Chains A and B, each alone.
Chain A
Amino acid sequence: GENVEQHPSTLSVQEGDSAVIKCTYSDSASNYFPWYKQELGKRPQLIIDIRSNMDKRQGQRVTVLLNKTVKHLSLQIAATQPGDSAVYFCAENIGAGGTSYGKLTFGQGTILTVHP
């Protein structure tokens, strides 16, 4: 079935340290995996995404890794700042094809706190 497991549920780091969040997805047909950052009371904001034809993608201070063999993906945030404090969600896109562009199934979220 459709399921995305995300861990840890909470993560506390010191400013300047790295933070790593991991997800396991279930649908081997999924080919698109976005990560969203959601600050309290705000919209989910796309921070980086990866497609199944890649196993690594880097942005500004963020890196996402994808292991399709074991259906794992991870997000690393380097040199964390207090402004990185938020809830982070991984997601997989399921059901794209035909006349649909697919739906996102989200993990449960990770509450990241960066202490100054």
Chain B
Amino acid sequence: DAGVTQSPTHLIKTRGQQVTLRCSPKSGHDTVSWYQQALGQGPQFIFQYYEEEERQRGNFPDRFSGHQFPNYSSELNVNALLLGDSALYLCASSPDRGLRDTQYFGPGTRLTVL
């Protein structure tokens, strides 16, 4: 049983560009949350998707948007990239029954903005 997977592993972009990151949740999970982890800090919540809708959002600008597909996979899109967007982007999934607030993380996508 594969855990949470993310692609790509690493990505280099330049300021002003747009990026799309992808996440596949663990089998039996239907909720996906995205986090940004700057170097040396804890992850910060971006938003959460359930039933293909954004259910909760953290303190991130509208340049950050997302989508969830019928198979529960999810994308994170960031427009007009800034140098400060350089970080590890983590996806976490939660089970579709039982302890639904438990979150399991993927390996992350390391985004570098030059």
Q: Which residues of A come within 8 Å of B, CB atoms?
A: 32, 34, 36, 42-46, 49, 89, 91, 93, 95-96, 99-109
Q: Which residues of B come within 8 Å of A, CB atoms?
A: 4, 31, 33, 35, 40-45, 48, 50-51, 53, 55-56, 58, 90, 92, 94, 100-108
CB pair A46–B102 under 8 Å, yes or no, is yes
CB pair A100–B90 under 8 Å, yes or no, is no
Q: Which of B40, B43, B102 contacts A106 (CB 8 A)?
A: B43
Q: Which residue of B lies closest to A111 (CB)?
A: B40
A102 proximity list for chain B (CB < 8 A): 56, 101
CA distance A43 to B104 in the complex (A): 9
CA distance A50 to B31 in the complex (A): 20
Interface centre among B41, B51, B105 (most CB of A within 10 A): B105
Interface centre among A91, A102, A107, A108 (most CB of B within 10 A): A102
CB pair B55–A106 under 8 Å, yes or no, is no
25 sample A-B contacts, Cβ–Cβ < 8 Å, listed by A number: A32-B102, A34-B102, A34-B103, A36-B105, A43-B90, A43-B106, A44-B43, A44-B90, A44-B105, A45-B105, A46-B104, A99-B51, A99-B53, A100-B55, A100-B56, A101-B31, A101-B94, A102-B56, A102-B101, A103-B45, A103-B48, A104-B35, A104-B43, A109-B41, A109-B42
CA distance A87 to B29 in the complex (A): 26
B40 proximity list for chain A (CB < 8 A): 109
CA distance A105 to B105 in the complex (A): 14
CB pair B45–A104 under 8 Å, yes or no, is yes
Q: Which residue of A lies closest to B94 (CB)?
A: A101
Interface centre among B43, B90, B102, B108 (most CB of A within 10 A): B43
